[in-house]
Amino acid sequence: MAKEAGERKKAPRMGGRAAQMMPGEKARDFKGTIIKLFSYLKPYKFAVCFVFFAAILSTVFAIVSPTILGMATDEVVKGVMGSGIDYRKLLEILLILAAMYLASWLFAVIQSWIMSIVSQRVIYTLRDAMSKKLDRLPLKYFDRVPYGEVQSRMINDIETINQTLTATITQMISAIVTLVGILVMMVRISALMTGVTLLVIPASMGVIKVVVSKSQKHFNNQQSFLGKVNGHVEEMYSGHDIVKAFNREEMSEEVFDEYNEALCDAGWKSQFLSGLMMPLTQFIGNLAYVVVCFLGGYLALNGRISIGQIQAFIQYVRSFNQPVQQVANIANQLQSTAAAAERVFELLDEEEEVDLDKEPEVVLDPGQVQGRVTFDHVRFGYKENEPVITDFSFEARPGQRIAIVGPTGAGKTTIVKLLMRFYELDGGRILVDGHDIKTLSRTNLRELFGMVLQETWLNSGTIKENIMYGKTDATNEEIIEAAKAAHAHRFIRTLPNGYRMKINEEATNISAGQKQLLTIARAFLEDAPILIFDEATSSVDTRTEKQIQSAMAKLMSDRTSFIIAHRLSTIKDADFILVMNEGNIIEHGKHEELLAQRGFYAELYNSQFAE
């Protein structure tokens, strides 16, 4: 079979898959996404309240400081124009000013420290939720979404959210408090000049609204194409040998250039538009600043305001522009964050594997399972209205070795995946010892099976850790015995550090045959009552294959075993052979019986030995 799910996933694709958020798509629910993101702060509401309190104090001290500095200026002007400067009073004012600056800095540090802790805990919660979610997602999700896309959501999108939570919230609190506090202080000095300054707000907000509306779709595109680039790079790297073997480097580069160009285009547009907000708001603020200077000079000449108050007011005007600009930056950051958060929540909202909503009706002890497996009119298709298995019925008795053969696409590997509940049936039942597998928890069900697949999988741990993957409490003696039974012990001893040798991330520091031997050793160690071998010896040489066949025969003794094989010579000794074609059993029986029938099986068998 064309390896229904797994192999389709591993094959390097030249065009990649469409990202979950399509290019050009606007945020589906900006407000709802931000609210949902901030809801993760609820467990830390007291800490956030303290941050808010510290931000208020820090801002209040910073706001009052220009007024104190204005008093110092008035004291100097009074001394110059009068009998002299009162240095004692001036020193007291300056000490108060220094204390305020210090207090403002101290509370700013406190709020930053607390918010950093809170944001990291929120990010930890999100990462943990995503990690657990990936364990509960069905295989069809990974058939649909490239690995690089998932990695982009867990790394790039989460980091974007992290930056927002770490800095944006404190900036937002400070900006709001600063705007209110500065407004109060400005009104105390001059209501007229305050009214002129307030004209800045609607103008600045109008600019921000226009720019945000234009930049949102580009931020969505940026996050989307970043996931596409990651997915393509991951696929091309993991399948680089296939790419080179088929001389597809040029096409791979073309696809990468297409995604990279789209990412670059979305990136510069989003950054350019967001970068316009600060200079535009600064320009509007400077206009108000000029008007205030002229108006303040006029009022000073008429004796309605002091020079120190003008100085303080000008500082407030300059400070007033800063929170407005911060709001612009926050709006900019929130656009990127909304796009990233939508992708994260989209993953967290994905439909999970359908499992029991209550305690399992039956819990089977692997040591007590006899191994009777029944397929009762099973129907299944990976896509709706495209059946792969149409009407499959069969019963494997305890201890039987059942071989499943057939041409590519017949449904052989699909049978195994349905048996393990990697996918749910469209109809019919599968029973183990008379119990419908839907009445068992997936954990309990999969404890009953030992699997050795054609597609080997090893993690980046040591050889010992990989062998004991299915039995983490195994002793060293058990591990060595399993390796010996799989004919892996000898080559393991020749490796640097033996069983402690670390396999690299891509498992390229050992051969394909050696990887297969380790997966077989893993099955020996697990000692499950039902075994599944899917082309288990396809990656080893003929001599090793014979050794493994002997070891497998020993392992399969008194166990129900399902053997999928393309090389029909390897399953001649099977107790029963199922011949599948187009999702149905078309022939069944022992090797000699099927050859005598001179049917489909005989044709398959003879074709492997024909000239």
- Amino acid of residue 186: M
- Residue 24's pLDDT band (cuts 50, 70, 90): very low
pLDDT for 544 equals 67
- Judged against a pLDDT cut of 60, whether residue 610 lies above it is answered with no
Does this model's pTM top 0.85? no
Given a contact cutoff of 8 angstroms between Cβ atoms, the answer to whether 379 and 539 are in contact is no
Helix axes 200-238, 249-301, angle to 10 degrees: 160
Residue 430 confidence (pLDDT):
92
Average pLDDT, rounded, for the chain? 78
Q: Other CB atoms closer than 10 Å to residue 342's CB: what's the count? A: 24
Question: DSSP state, 400?
Answer: -
* Average pLDDT of the residues in 510-539: 81
Compare 391 and 244 and report the one with higher pLDDT.
391
Q: Is the pLDDT of residue 54 over 70?
A: yes
- Please state the rounded mean pLDDT for residues 105-112: 86
Strands 530-534 and 560-564: parallel
Can you tell me whether residue 510 is helix, strand or coil?
coil
559-586: average pLDDT: 81
The predicted-structure confidence for 241-293, as pLDDT tens digits, reads as follows 677 767 777 888 888 888 888 888 888 887 787 777 667 767 776 777 777 77
Higher pLDDT, 351 or 273: 351
Cα separation, 382 vs 2, in Å, equals 13
- 125-154: average pLDDT: 84
Among residues 501, 342, 349, 459, the alpha carbon closest in space to that of 22 is found at 342
Q: Which domains does the chain possess?
A: 18-348 (1.20.1560.10), 369-448+531-611 (3.40.50.300), 459-527 (3.40.50.300)
Q: What is the rounded average pLDDT of the residues 596-611?
A: 78
State the pLDDT confidence band at 374, using cuts at 50, 70 and 90: very high
Across residues 496-525, what is the average pLDDT?
82
Spatial distance between the Cα atoms of 406 and 1, rounded to a whole number of angstroms: 8
